[in-house]
Structure 1
Amino acid sequence: MSTVTDQAHKHHEHEGEDLAVAARRSLEAAGEQWTEMRESIFAALAEIEKPASAYDIADSVSRKRGKRVAPNSVYRILDLFVRTNLARRVESINAYIANSHPGCVHDCIFLVCDSCGNATHIDDDGLSRSVRRTAESAGYVDIRPVIEVRGRCAACD
């Protein structure tokens, strides 16, 4: 999974242990606890290169823990991660990616490869600004634009 950032939107991309620390800080700042299970699920999500399903994450965590982790438990934690900006959901494929800058809130655009499954995450609030304005003028609040573009990436073309 790669990230492209527009010129107006600069932030630090975390990775490895630095990402886990940033995620923990962000979750605790939101008033939530960083439990052992949440840490395990975030670690599994962060190490998978492509968007991952709850089942992929449950399998990974189950192998590491030596006991089965139910996908329903993973879904609940992933929902929490999305609400608190630790993860992003790629809606069209019902999969998740770790947010490499959890302290930064913005709209995400995903370019999803139909061939290999890779997703490129683009930070460009300018693209989603008119979507937000349209929704606000229709009376919507707590707007979360989801913009995904499907096609084949350069490596698969």
Structure 2
Amino acid sequence: MGKHAHKEHSGDRLIEEAGHAIVKAGEQWTAMREDVFRALAAQSRPASAYDIAEQVGAMRGKRVAANSVYRILDLFVRTNLANRIESANAYIVNSHPGCRHDCIFLICDDCGLADHLDDDSLTGALREAGTSAGFTQVRPVVELRGLCAECSG
């Protein structure tokens, strides 16, 4: 298996791909969902629901409840539009929303940068280990913490 090849998107093309992916998943691409996705896509680091609610509120000119943003972000995770960084209780946009696979996140303890790498052989082995232990619907969540090249150099 090894490395996983996929098409990364950005800007308006990423927004368009996200809309297609959520509709394909049987959900609606509402104006609020698009605003939340745009706000998340604009972040350079993983963002909390509160950060996104604040940004969407500023965009819309009225307060947006963090609870409604949480629900949308959870929908994005379920439909592969975003990933949740478990250790930081934060979210990061999936730049390849039509591609479902398990990411391995690399998170900088200093600046908060979150990058990902794809290694299907490694995540496949984790799935297999979980299945061998009697689990079903195994979903690897792998986060590696350390210092990014910028912070360690």
Report the TM-score range of the alignment, normalised by the length of the smaller protein: over 0.9
1:73-88 pair list within 5 angstroms? 73-88=68-83
Amino acid at match of 1:77: I
TM-score by length of 2: 0.96
- Do structure 1's residue 117 and structure 2's residue 112 form an aligned pair? yes
Structure 1 unaligned spans of 5+? 1-5
Aligned pair partner of 1:25 in 8, 20, 23: 20
TM-score by length of 1: 0.93
Question: What is the CA distance between 1:138 and its match in structure 2?
Answer: 2.1
Counterpart of 2:125 in structure 1 is 130
Runs of 4+ in structure 1 deviating by more than 3 angstroms, as ranges, are none
Question: What is the CA distance between 1:7 and its match in structure 2?
Answer: 6.5
Amino acid at match of 1:117: G
Amino acid at match of 2:9: H
Q: For residue 151 of structure 2, give the secondary structure of its aligned residue in structure 1.
A: coil
Amino acid at match of 1:56: D
Question: What is the CA distance between 1:11 and its match in structure 2?
Answer: 1.3
Amino acid at match of 2:121: G
Question: What is the CA distance between 1:75 and its match in structure 2?
Answer: 0.5
Number of corresponding residues:
152
CA distance in 1, matches of 2:135, 2:67: 30
| 8 Å Cα contact 2:2-2:120 kept in structure 1 | no
Q: For residue 156 of structure 1, give the secondary structure of its aligned residue in structure 2.
A: helix
Counterpart of 1:104 in structure 2 is 99
Structure 2 unaligned spans of 5+? none
CA distance in 2, matches of 1:146, 1:14: 23
Deviates more, 1:61-70 or 1:6-15: 6-15
Output the aligned Cα RMSD: 1.2
Counterpart of 2:146 in structure 1 is 151
